[in-house]
Amino acid sequence: MAEKRAYVVVWCTLMLASCLMLAQQNAPNTQGVTPPPGSPTPTPARMTFFVTSVGLGKGGDLGGLAGADAHCQALAAAVGAGGHTWHAYLSTQARPGQPAVNARDRIGTGPWFNWSFAQLGAPQNAIISADLAELHGDTLVQAQRGSNLFKQSTRNEHGQVIHGIGDTPPIQHEILTGSKWDGRAYMDNADHTCNNWTSSSTGSAQLGHSDRIGNGSSWNSSNATTGCSQAALESSGGAGLFYCFAIN
């Protein structure tokens, strides 16, 4: 009789644990959101990386780095991750009186996690990269191993995968970076940043591919745009999207 009672207790415990896990997985994205009066204080949002779900609609004119950062912050806040400080992964080029800015120097030190970590615990694709060196493949071993940034892990702030090669149009896998593969700014005289993210007409911008397919398969430096207008970005598989990283 004692053995039967013990079995029932164990079975009930396992069922309760399963129900709690299922409830957690199906819970809405409320991490970091100010709770209603009397509700428990939520834990800080763990998402520290995403691709913008929408651009600013003005092609390569993002309002400079400040405007791009503000866009990251607003999108993050809308899904409960506004407790972090967010920066856009964008480089700028040297101009008279203005030194170049490297995208890799703007995004903190890692590690970075995507939306999946915030929502569902720690699935295989939750971590994007442990640190800057791994993210950019600074050493031969790191370059060969690669980061965990690929199509299924490179999600927007809502947890949606960015449409890439082979998906239903519109294809939006071209992500603005203005950067070389090592995350640093270009030092030549060509325009790689749509005039430091202020032009929606003339110029060009360097792009990465969120699905790592085509033109070298680089997430941050695959090819250049044909112009800086919204139409030019959309014509080649982009939408003016960019990467956002939490620096804290």
What pLDDT score was predicted for residue 35? 45
**Which of 14 and 213 is assigned the larger pLDDT?**
213
**Chain Cα centroid distance, residue 25:** 21
DSSP codes, the chain: -HHHHHHHHHHHHHHHHHHHHHHHHTS-S-TTSPPPTTSPPPPPP---EEE-SS--SSTT--SHHHHHHHHHHHHHHHTT-TTS-EEE---B--BTTB--B-GGGSS-S--EE-HHHHHHS--TT-EEESSHHHHHT-SHHHHHH--S-STTT-BBTTSPBPP-TTSSSPP--EEE--B-TTS-B--SSS-SBHHHHT-SSS--BEEEETT--STT--SS-SEE-S-SSHHHHHHTTEEEEEEEEE--
User: Who has greater pLDDT, 125 or 79?
Assistant: 79
> Residue 114's pLDDT is what?
92
> What pLDDT, on a 0 to 100 scale, did the predictor assign at position 216?
66
pLDDT at 43: 47
Please report, to the nearest 10 degrees, the dihedral formed by the alpha carbons of residues 195, 201, 207, 213 taken in order: -170
Looking at residues 231-245, what average pLDDT do you find? 96
Average pLDDT (212-222) is 85
pLDDT tens digit string along 98-116?
A: 999 999 999 999 999 998 8
| Each residue's pLDDT tens digit, 172-214 | 999 999 999 999 999 999 999 999 999 999 999 999 999 998 7
pLDDT in tens, 131-169: 999 999 988 888 777 788 889 899 999 999 999 999 999
Whole-number percent of the chain with pLDDT over 70: 77
As a whole number, the mean pLDDT across the chain is: 84
Residue 8: partners with Cβ closer than 8 Å, 6 or more residues away = none
> How many residues make up the chain in this entry?
248
Residues of the chain with pLDDT > 90: what percent?
68
First to last CA, the chain: 56
